[in-house]
Amino acid sequence: MLGLLWLIPVIPLIGFILLAIIGPRLSRTAVAIIGVGSVGISAILAILVAISFISSPPAGNAFTQTLWTWINVTNFNPGISFYLDSLSMIMVLVVTFVGFVIHLYSAEHMLHQEGYSRFFAYMNLFVGSMLILVLANNLLLLYLGWEGVGLCSYLLIGFWYTNPANGRAARKAFIVTRVGDAAMAIGLFLLFNNLATLNIQDVMQRAAQTWQIGSPLAVTAAALLLGGAVGKSAQLPLQTWLPDAMAGPSPVSALIHAATMVTAGVYLIARTHVLFSLAPSVQLAVAIVGAATLLLAGFSALTQWDIKRVLAYSTISQIGYMFLALGVGAWSAAIFHFMTHAFFKALLFLAAGVVIDAMNDEHNMFKMGGLRTQLPLTFWTFLIGSSALSALPLITSGFYSKDLILFDAYASPSGSTWLWLAGLVGAFLTSIYTFRMVFLTFFGKPKTKAVYQPGSRINLALIVLAAFALLIGFLETPSFLGNINVLGNFLSASLPATSILPQRAGSEGILELVSAVISLVGIYLAYLLFLRVPKTTEAMVQSPVGAVLHRYWFSGWGFDWLYDTVLVRPFVWMANSNKNDFIDLLYKGIIRLNEALHRVLSNTENGLVRWYATGIAIGAVIIIAIVVFL
Amino acid sequence: MATIPVEYGLFLAIILFSLGLVGVLIRRNVVFILLSVEIMLNAAGLGFVIAGSHWGQADGQIMFIFILTMASAEVSVGLALAIQLYHRLKTLDTNSISKMRG
Amino acid sequence: MDIVFYIASAVAIICTVMVITRLNVVHALLYMIVALLSVALVFYTLGAPFVAALEVIIYAGAIMVLFVFVIMILNLGPQTSQQERLWLDGRIWVGPTILALILIAEVAYVLSTHSTPAYTITEISPRQVSTQMFGPYILGVELSSFLLLSAVVGAFHLGRRRQLYPEEIAVSAAAVEQNTSPQGDIQPEPQIQSDIHR
Q: What is the DSSP letter of A59?
A: G
The whole-number average pLDDT for the span A178-200 is 88
Q: How confident is the model at residue C71 (pLDDT cuts 50, 70, 90)?
A: confident
Q: What are the φ/ψ torsions at residue A469 (nearest 5 degrees)?
A: -60, -30
Q: Which of A363-367, C129-133, C183-187 has the lowest mean pLDDT?
A: C183-187
Chain B segment 61-90 residues within 8 A of C by beta carbon are 61-62, 64-66, 68-77, 79-84, 86-90
Contacts for A12 with CB less than 8 Å, ≥ 6 apart: A38, A39, A42, A124, A125, A127, A128, A131
Residues in chain B: 102
**How many Å apart are CA C85 and CA C94, to the nearest integer?**
16
Q: Are C40 and C52 in contact (CB under 8 A)?
A: yes
Chain B residue numbers with beta carbons less than 8 Å from the beta carbon of A607 are 97-101
DSSP A393: T
Q: Which helix (H) or strand (E) holds A177?
A: helix A164-195
Judging contacts by C-beta atoms under 8 Å, the chain C residues touching residue A625 are 102, 106
Distance, CA of A332 to CA of A496 (rounded, Å): 8
* A367, pLDDT greater than 50: yes
Decide if pLDDT at A196 tops 80: yes
Q: Which among B24, B98, B102 has the least Cβ separation from residue A602?
A: B102
Alpha carbon of residue A58 to chain centroid: 31
Distance CA C155, CA C153 (A): 6
What digits encode the pLDDT tens for the residues A555-586? 777 788 888 888 888 888 888 888 777 788 88
Q: CB B99 to CB A614 under 8 A?
A: no
Integer-rounded Cα Rg, in Å, for chain B is: 17
Indicate whether C169 pLDDT > 90.
no
What is the pLDDT at residue C162? 67
Residue type at A546 in one-letter notation: G
φ and ψ at residue A37, rounded to 5 degrees: -60, -40
With H, G, I as helix, E, B as strand and everything else as coil, classify residue A551: helix
What is the dihedral sign for C-alpha B41, B47, B48, B50? positive
Q: Give the residue from chain B lying closest to C47, CA to CA.
A: B53
Question: SS3 letters for chain C?
Answer: CHHHHHHHHHHHHHHHHHHHHCCCHHHHHHHHHHHHHHHHHHHHHCCCHHHHHHHHHHHHHHHHHHHHHHHHHHCCCCHHHHHHHHHCCCHHHHHHHHHHHHHHHHHHHHHHHCCCCCCCCCCCCHHHHHHHHCCCCHHHHHHHHHHHHHHHHHHHHHHCCCCCCHHHHHHHHHHHHHHHCHHHCCCCCHHHHHHHHC
- Residue A154: enclosing H or E segment and its boundaries? helix A139-157
Which residues in chain C are contacts of B19 at CB distance < 8 A? 13, 16-17, 19-20, 100
Instruction: Give the whole-angstrom CA distance, residue A432 versus residue A74.
Output: 58
Instruction: Give CA separation, B100 vs B92, B95, B96, in Å.
Output: 17, 11, 11
Residues of C in contact with A617 (CB under 8 A): 96, 99, 103
Question: Which chains neighbour A (Cβ–Cβ under 8 Å, 3 or more pairs)?
Answer: B, C
Q: Tell me which DSSP letter residue A414 carries.
A: T
Helix (H, G, I), strand (E, B) or coil at A476: strand
Dump pLDDT digits (tens) for A319-329: 898 888 888 88
Q: Which range has the worst mean pLDDT, A165-169, A479-483, A532-536, B27-31?
A: A479-483
Show me where the domains of chain C are located. Answer: 1-123
Report pLDDT for C81. 78
Question: Which of the residue ranges A102-116, A405-419, C179-193 would you say has the lowest mean pLDDT?
Answer: C179-193
Please report, rounded to a whole number, the percentage of residues in chain A having pLDDT higher than 70: 100
Our CA angle for A283, A285, A286, nearest 5°, is: 65
Reduced to 3 states (helix: H, G, I; strand: E, B; else coil), residue A400 is: helix
pLDDT in the model for residue C191:
43
CATH number of C1-123: 1.20.120.1200
Per-residue pLDDT, averaged over A594-607, amounts to 87
In terms of pLDDT, which residue wins out, B101 or A421?
A421
Could you tell me the pLDDT band of residue A167, with boundaries at 50, 70 and 90?
confident
Give pLDDT, residue A447.
Answer: 77
C14 C-beta neighbours (distance < 10 Å), count: 14
8 A C-beta contact, residue A211 and residue A218 = yes
Q: Is residue A520 predicted with pLDDT exceeding 70?
A: yes
Distance from C-alpha of A158 to C-alpha of A362, rounded to nearest angstrom: 19
Average pLDDT over residues A612-616: 89
- The neighbours of chain B, by the rule of 3 or more Cβ pairs under 8 Å, are A, C
φ, ψ of residue B43 to 5 degrees: the values are -65, -45
Instruction: Give the CATH fold of the B9-27+37-91 domain.
Output: Helix Hairpins (1.10.287)
- C96 contacts in chain A (CB < 8 Å): 614, 617
What is the secondary structure of A609-625 as a DSSP string?
Answer: HHHHHHHHHHHHHHHHH
Which of helix, strand or coil describes residue A335?
A: helix
Contact B33 A609 (CB under 8 A): yes
- The answer to whether C70 and B79 have CB atoms below 8 angstroms apart is yes
The predicted structure's pLDDT at residue C187: 44
Query: What 3-state DSSP class applies to A83?
Result: strand
A496-505, B5-14, C48-57, range with the lowest pLDDT: A496-505
Phi and psi at residue A622, in whole multiples of 5°? -65, -45
Of the listed ranges A487-496, A530-539, C188-197, the least confidently predicted one is C188-197
Examine the pLDDT at C186 and tell me if it is beyond 50: no
Segment A270-286 mean pLDDT: 87
A605 and B99 within 8 Å at the Cβ level: the answer is no
What is the spatial distance between Cα A272 and Cα A276, in angstroms, rounded to a whole number?
Answer: 7
Any idea which of A74-78, A89-93, A476-480, C174-178 has the lowest mean pLDDT? C174-178
Average pLDDT, chain B: 87
pLDDT at A84 over 90: no
More confident residue, A370 or A338: A338
* Mean pLDDT of all residues belonging to chain A: 85
CA–CA separation, A83 and A136 (whole Å):
6
Residue C149 has pLDDT above 90, yes or no: yes
Cβ–Cβ gap B24/A602 under 8 Å: no
pLDDT of A193 higher than 80: yes
User: By three-state DSSP, how is residue B56 classified?
Assistant: coil
Substitution target in B55, B91, B101 with the highest count of C β-carbons within 10 Å is B91
| Residue C139: C-alpha distances to residues A591, B72, C134, C150 (Å) | 53, 19, 9, 17
Among A440-444, B51-55, C127-131, the minimum mean pLDDT is found in A440-444
**Residue B75: enclosing H or E segment and its boundaries?**
helix B59-89
How many angstroms separate the CA atoms of A405 and A427, rounded? 11
Per-residue pLDDT tens digits for C74-108: 877 777 778 888 888 778 888 889 999 999 998 88
Residue A397, pLDDT above cutoff 50: yes
B1 in contact with chain A, both atoms CB, cutoff 8 A: no
